[in-house]
Structure 1
Amino acid sequence: MRIVLLLIFIALSVFATTSANGQDTVRIGLSVRNVVLMPFYFAQEKGFFEREGLKAEIIQIRSNLQVAGVVAGELDFMSGVGTAIDAIRKGLPLKVVAVLYRAPLFSLVTGTSINRLRELEGKKVGVSRIGSESHNAAVWMLSQNGVDVKKVTFMQTGSTTVSMIGLQQNSLEASVLSPPFTGEMVLQGFKVLAKTGDVVEAPFNGMVTSRDRLRSRPERIRGTLKAMLESFRRIKQDRRGTIEYIQQSFKVNSKIAENSYNEITEVMFDNLIMPEDRLKKAMDSPYARGEGEKSVSVSDVVDYSILRSLR
């Protein structure tokens, strides 16, 4: 544990700054800068946090370190809702205060020689890591379409980029991709045979904080949530402007930016709330819960009280 906290300290010290104008600093841990997490960067770059008197520091840090950082108080928020639920099942004092998407933004992309998902039996499918959300998504998409997943070889590539390259080089028959890689591959002639959002509803990315932060810093949480609500509102209302932002910020062409925008807005919760009954159903599903994992209630996981007070 000491080593983990030392790594967090080193990672965060790079970003340690004091706001010259007295703004309260909020630290948000994200695993990577990508289109899926675009609403956080959009809120930061459009000044929505500053309007709430906050200086947002977005820190790229591995998901396992995010959990430790939030629990230790070095981070105010992390984005991985699935990771947080797993941690809560293990007894860690986290709370989900907002949910961005109703389903993971994964697609199963294949080459032109594959026309049906069942043809992937006996074939290789690229996922970022065995046991990761992309791997779980692949298993769910395939099994829900009648594929015997025991006959599929899942290849751990380490990253979405490598999964995409493996598909391009024909070393993989299919890969699980997310925006903007999905749109990029479609433009190259590859096919999307399944989307996670078509077969499962599960909370994907959001805002997770510690129980201590909820008690001690409610106004910081309130301001952060207001900024993210404004980010979502602007994204939905300004389609053209947001597509241009994706194109410029993530260095993709207009077609890929438009595809990414469509994929994201298709699964967004405008109010950042996944209703409790739908969340419970998702938490109890095989997609979200591994064999032998501890059962937890929705009230153990989420606290929408601050978010609902903003209506």
Structure 2
Amino acid sequence: MNESSAVLTVEIPFEHAGRRFDQVLAELFPDYSRSRLSSWIKSGDALLDGALVAPRQLVKGGQRISLVAVASQEVPMAPEDIELDIRFEDADVLVINKPVGLVVHPGAGNPAGTLQNALLHYDAKLIEIPRAGIVHRLDKDTSGLMVIARSLRAHTTLVEQLSERAMHRQYEALVMGPMISGGSVDAPIGRHPKDRVKQAVVDEPAGRPAVTHYRVRERFRAHTLVQCNLETGRTHQIRVHMSHIRHPLVGDIMYGGGLRLPKGATPELTEVLRGFKRQALHAEKLEFTHPVGGKTISVEAERPADLAALVVALRGDTKVNGEADNAKRR
């Protein structure tokens, strides 16, 4: 193994039992293209319990995958001077607070101006790490914390923590409707059967297991502020799960959280709600084991200004209308 490669190992979660080796490999190592992973299976650089197997080999839960991954840039990308809000930094990891509107990876419609471009400008050595060290994602219009690997050893460990559900990710969300109490949503998520841009709750095997725990933080007249903790990390998971229980996120047009003004809303709340053009979701806390020292790293990011203003407006509306209701009772 040369200096620009690393052995990545991960235990296959039991939820993947009965699936093809190449499919599981692609899901557990999303930083690499399917074509590259396929070539590593054929070359013997991707092994199942130490053995060379065919791509179509069905796996069992609990087996270990070892992958000799060569760190190289898969897609040419230019560094860009984009400001980063860094909340933790050392030689092996970065934790950044991603602002609303910043796309994580380049793609169709977003060839530049992404977090990946910004990271390559901040640290040129990140070109040697898959996807410039990005090991998990946030949607463009979701704000909050992300951890970045700055070394291959850090990348290996962080990917393992994610796959083994050992990384703690906590979110704050503002949802439609008055929520009585907290709970959990245990419902598999997969590609929407009709709209390929969206995700949806779908039965297995098309859907992958997904669990979101939530609790009520603050109730308003027609909205609820909740804390969400992820047990799994599926695409759009919180957005899909909250919509599934009929409490879509405020501002989330894709999943049913379009503009709805409460009856008798104050002018202040009306103005803020009309101007809130994204899903009300913020990744507020990230906790993981440091990939080198083993120390627990815990980082928090304050509520962004637009969400904070919306919460203030909701409190004001609740107070005004509550006082009006009390006056009527008198």
What TM-score, normalized to structure 1? 0.24
Higher relative contact order (CA 8 A, sep 6+): 1
Q: Per residue, is there more helix in 1 or in 2?
A: 1
